[in-house]
Amino acid sequence: MSRVLSTEQAKAAISQVQSIINGGFTDQISALDAQGRVLSDPNVWDGPLAAQFRGSTWPETKAALDKAKNELEELRGQLQKISQDIFSAGGGA
């Protein structure tokens, strides 16, 4: 039989992770995306380094940001489900 344990410390940590994700971290990723799109416009910023930014730096960074945002949303959902399952099974303190 597997051990099931969920302390108040675990409950608080789950809550904090969810709060960080919901409370602005994904919003900050979206804000970075918006500024990256501005800098990718050659009518706003142009030149050899700007072209490099548009062509490789920003697309790679945006892909990483999108992946991070999706993974954070998955983590938030998994933590919510785990928390609900443990507490509904009586593992909560």
How many angstroms separate the CA atoms of 36 and 73, rounded?
Answer: 21
Residue 50 lies in a domain: yes
Structurally, how many domains does the chain consist of?
A: 1
Is 60 within the bounds of a domain? yes
**Cα–Cα distance for residue pair 18/24, rounded to 1 Å:** 10
- Alpha helices (H) in 1-93, listed in sequence order: 8-20, 26-39, 48-52, 58-88
Task: Give the 3-state secondary structure of residue 77.
Answer: helix
What pLDDT score was predicted for residue 89?
66
Provide the residue range defining the domain that includes 33. 8-82
Compute the average pLDDT of residues 54-58. Answer: 97
Instruction: Note whether residue 3 is domain-resident.
Output: no
Is residue 48 in some structural domain? Answer: yes
Q: Taking residues 76-83, what's their average pLDDT? A: 86
Q: Note whether residue 67 is domain-resident.
A: yes
Q: Is the pLDDT of residue 52 over 80?
A: yes
Place of tokens 């900050």: 28
Is residue 1 very low, low, confident or very high in pLDDT (cuts 50, 70, 90)? low
Domain assignment present for 88: no
Q: 38-50 pLDDT, tens per residue?
A: 999 999 999 999 9
